[in-house]
Structure 1
């Protein structure tokens, strides 16, 4: 079984685990909305990634289910909700099963509750040292989150 972990949002990431090993990790594909120069998820490119990686109906898409954060504001929350909807829409169009997981669930599983954002990156490097170069920068914490979201499902449901 292939497990796809998705940290949603325009600065999110996508990871793919095959047999529990990371086989692919990338930033969320984005494009610029021409009228306002705002970044948004590139739905066509997201679909291309999933198709190219041969993700099918028997595989699992594990999508982090995030709710409103204090101080985010209406516009930011709307934008995030739009990104979340694009991801769900692409998966629905490709007939891929989406399983939602709350951040508190996967973070608790890895003892990352109330930890620094960068702690997930450290955890992934310890677990998968062969991809350390792909998550070497501080801003790669979203990639690490996507990996841990997939790994959470693998360890709790996927075996």
Structure 2
């Protein structure tokens, strides 16, 4: 399959401690990183990824309020979350939201982040989930990869 015709899946765990990942349509992980900090950095990263990967499909975990979150925190999270949809609309790329319960069910996951990293390691054994200057797995990277894999399996 020629590179121009390959579909890529951009999986996004949208939280401040989330991450971004890209899978090829054959399931090969291409790239993964912690969530950039700051809206301009997020936008720059998304634009670069979209330019580097033609036929990109964005799959984002649907933002939702969490019990105990304050109004200000919810507002900031929603503002942050909207960045992904805005970039997809402006650059005219396919955009899909998925509830955590939906994609996690496919992989037999719960809210336990350690289980997410374990399943990710099983599916993507060559991916290093420990970012530079860190000592432990980054569950956001694991979940971003699994979100992309969910979209790939659905052939979005």
| Alignment TM class, shorter chain as reference | 0.7 to 0.9
Structure 2 length-normalised TM = 0.83
- The runs of 5 or more residues in structure 1 that have no matched partner are 32-39
Taking only aligned residues, the RMSD between alpha carbons, in angstroms, comes to 2.1
1:62-112 Cα offsets, whole Å, 9 max, x none, are: 011021110011111111101111111112111111111100001111000
Higher strand share: 1
Q: Distance in 1 between matches of 2:68 and 2:48?
A: 33
What secondary structure does 1:158 align onto?
coil
Which of 21, 27, 41 aligns to 2:28? It is 21
Q: Distance in 1 between matches of 2:122 and 2:41?
A: 32
Cα deviation for residue 9 of structure 1 reads 2.5
Aligned partner of 2:148 in structure 1 is: 150
Structure 1 length-normalised TM = 0.82
Cα deviation for residue 43 of structure 1 reads 3.8
Aligned partner of 2:13 in structure 1 is: 7
Cα deviation for residue 52 of structure 1 reads 4.5
Cα deviation for residue 11 of structure 1 reads 1.8
Asked if 1:49 is matched to 2:48, the reply is yes
Asked whether the 8 Å contact 1:29–1:45 carries over to 2, the reply is no
Q: Distance in 2 between matches of 1:158 and 1:42?
A: 29
Asked whether the 8 Å contact 1:43–1:90 carries over to 2, the reply is no
Cα deviation for residue 6 of structure 1 reads 0.6
Alignment of structure 1 residues 8-87 onto 2, 5 Å = 8-18=14-24, 19-31=26-38, 40=39, 42-56=41-55, 59-87=56-84
1:100-144 Cα offsets, whole Å, 9 max, x none, are: 110000111100024x11211111111111113546854510010
Q: Distance in 2 between matches of 1:42 and 1:152?
A: 26
- The runs of 5 or more residues in structure 2 that have no matched partner are 1-6
Aligned partner of 1:101 in structure 2 is: 98
